[in-house]
Each structure stands twice: as C-alpha cells, then as structure tokens.
C-alpha cells in the first residue's frame, strides 16, 4: 500500500481541474457507488467485528505486511484488509493499527465519509485493524496518476480532493501516496492506509490552494474534549494535541491563502 508520493501531483490539482488519467475507459457505468456503508456505519462495524474469517492471504506489499481476509459469504462485507501493526517503527516510520481506527472515527465525527469502516479485530491470534475492502475501486496509482473526471464531475471531484487534503493535514498522514487514494466508477473518493497518521509531527502534508468551507467549519469546531471522547481509545493526549496544533497551522495557511486570492480560496 505504499507508492509514489502524491503531494506534488495534488498540490496543483484543484486549481488545474485535471490530471493524467481518465477513469472513463475503465468503467462505462458511472452510477456505481462503493460507499455502501454511509448511513449504516454502526451496522457495518458490528458485522466486521463479528464476522467469521475463512481465508487470509498476504497482500505482498509494504513493510508492515498487510493481509487480505475473506469473510464468510452472505454478509454485508466480503473482504477486509487486516493490519496487525503494533505501535512501533517500521522502515523508518512510526506506525500503528490504532491510527487507522482513529482516522475512521475522526472521519465519522467530521461527516467526511471517505474512510471505510475500520474496527479492531483479532484474526488468527493477531490483534489489528480490519478495514472494509471497498469495491469497485481503482487507485490513482493503478490509473497512472490523478484521474480526470468528465466535465460534469469536475466541480464535485475538485471539492472532494480539497476535503481529502484538509483531512490529511489534520491527521498528519505522512504517507498520502497514489496507491492510497481510490476512486469508484461514480467518481467518489475513498482514502485508505492511515497507519502512519497521528504522530506528533506539526507539519502539514498538503498545500491547500482551495478549501471546502463546510468541512473547515467542522474542523474549526473541534476541541480537545471532543477529540478525546472520539479518539481517546486509540490515541494518547500528545497525538491529539498535535492534531490541534496542525489545525492551527492550517488556520494560518488558509488565512494567507484567502489574503492572496480572496473568495476564490473557498468552495462554498
């Protein structure tokens, strides 16, 4: 689940309104939406937690050796990605399966609906995170780069990219590579692989050149008490306070952006 960094590509995408690949040739039916969990999150979480695992295979990528687990047929979810990543340093980076769950819980708190259901689960004696395997999707890496939607989808697509960048900056996801950004045939964006998020870094990983006003309002409303309530089981106080400090850096960067370009800084 690692690949070429996505930062340099996405830094220009929202203003450019384009990319280097098109999904149209990959899927003629643009009505498909992989986000079947939206509005039913608790139901999907409970199912994944309790579901019987009938097969586990190594994905063969990444230093943390994630696995693909097949669940008993007939349920809400057919497969999950399973990562028994104990908190620690892997390949020079601090990672933890708990960061995956924290990212999902924060996604829910913000109403983002981009991170698939992610729950703690024990498989074969290993404790880790089980993440819903979303389909039909393709990664930006598989598509050869950031995909270009049809003209009628460009405004919504650019807004989704703006929202994803805000979220990654808030959680401090230092691994936002092209393999971790997924799109379905309906041009819905999905974000996966957050095991390197929620460290104590204060750095922002994306330049913001346009900002979704509604999401930013919800981010601004967060306080330590709300984050502890939602993320406390998975993060320490230092990681939560680092997220709030990144939020302050985001506020300064957004203020500078608005001073430069005015109303053009915002998706309203």
**How does pLDDT run across 109-165, given as a tens digit for each residue?**
999 999 999 999 999 999 999 999 999 999 999 999 999 999 999 999 999 999 999
Q: Which residues contact 52 (CB under 8 A, 6 or more apart)?
A: 71, 72
**How does pLDDT run across 171-188, given as a tens digit for each residue?**
999 988 899 999 999 999
| Structure confidence at residue 107 (pLDDT) | 98
The rounded distance, in Å, linking the Cα atoms of 206 and 178 is 13
| Structure confidence at residue 63 (pLDDT) | 67
Q: What is the DSSP letter of 141?
A: T
Q: How many helical (H) and strand (E) elements, i.e. helices and strands, does the chain have?
A: 7, 14
Q: Which two tokens stand for residue 101?
A: 């769950």
Q: Residue 85 — φ and ψ, nearest 5°?
A: -90, 100
Burial class (CB in 10 A: 0-12, 13-18, 19+), 26: middle
| pLDDT at residue 61 greater than cutoff 80 | no
| Structure confidence at residue 1 (pLDDT) | 45
Provide the whole-model pTM.
0.90
More confident residue, 218 or 176: 218
Q: Which residues contact 240 (CB under 8 A, 6 or more apart)?
A: 224, 227, 228, 231, 232
pLDDT, mean over the chain:
89
Reported as a pLDDT band with limits 50, 70 and 90, residue 170 is very high
Strands (E), 195-252: 211-212
Contact 216, 54 (CB under 8 A): no
Which H or E run contains 67?
strand 67-71
The rounded distance, in Å, linking the Cα atoms of 9 and 160 is 15
| Structure confidence at residue 82 (pLDDT) | 98
**How does pLDDT run across 76-105, given as a tens digit for each residue?**
999 999 999 998 988 778 899 999 999 999
CA atoms in the 13 A half-sphere facing the CB of 218: 14
**How does pLDDT run across 220-242, given as a tens digit for each residue?**
999 999 999 999 999 999 999 99
């Amino acid at each position: 689940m690692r690949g070429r960094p996505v930062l340099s590509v996405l830094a220009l995408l929202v203003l450019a309104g384009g990319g280097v690949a098109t999904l149209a040739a990959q899927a003629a039916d643009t009505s498909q939406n992989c986000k079947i969990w939206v509005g039913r999150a608790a139901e999907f979480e409970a199912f994944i937690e309790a579901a019987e695992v009938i097969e586990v295979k190594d994905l063969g990528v990444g230093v943390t050796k994630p696995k693909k687990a097949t669940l008993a047929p007939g349920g809400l979810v057919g497969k999950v990605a399973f990562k028994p990543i104990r908190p620690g340093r892997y390949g020079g980076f601090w990672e933890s399966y708990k960061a995956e769950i924290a990212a999902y819980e924060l996604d829910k708190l913000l109403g983002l609906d981009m991170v698939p259901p992610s729950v703690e689960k024990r498989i074969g004696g290993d404790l880790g995170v089980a993440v819903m395997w979303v389909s039909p999707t393709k990664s930006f890496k598989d598509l050869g780069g950031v995909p270009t939607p049809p003209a009628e989808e460009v405004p919504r697509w650019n807004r989704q990219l703006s929202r994803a960048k805000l979220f990654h900056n808030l959680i401090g996801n230092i691994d936002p590579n092209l393999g971790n950004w997924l799109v379905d045939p309906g041009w819905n964006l999905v974000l996966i692989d957050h095991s390197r998020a929620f460290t104590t870094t204060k750095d922002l990983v994306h330049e913001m050149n346009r900002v979704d006003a509604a999401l930013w309002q919800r981010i601004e409303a967060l306080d330590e008490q709300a984050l502890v309530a939602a993320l406390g089981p998975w993060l320490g106080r230092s990681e939560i306070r680092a997220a709030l400090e990144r939020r302050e850096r985001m506020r300064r960067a957004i203020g500078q952006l608005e001073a430069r370009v005015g109303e053009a800084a915002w998706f309203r």
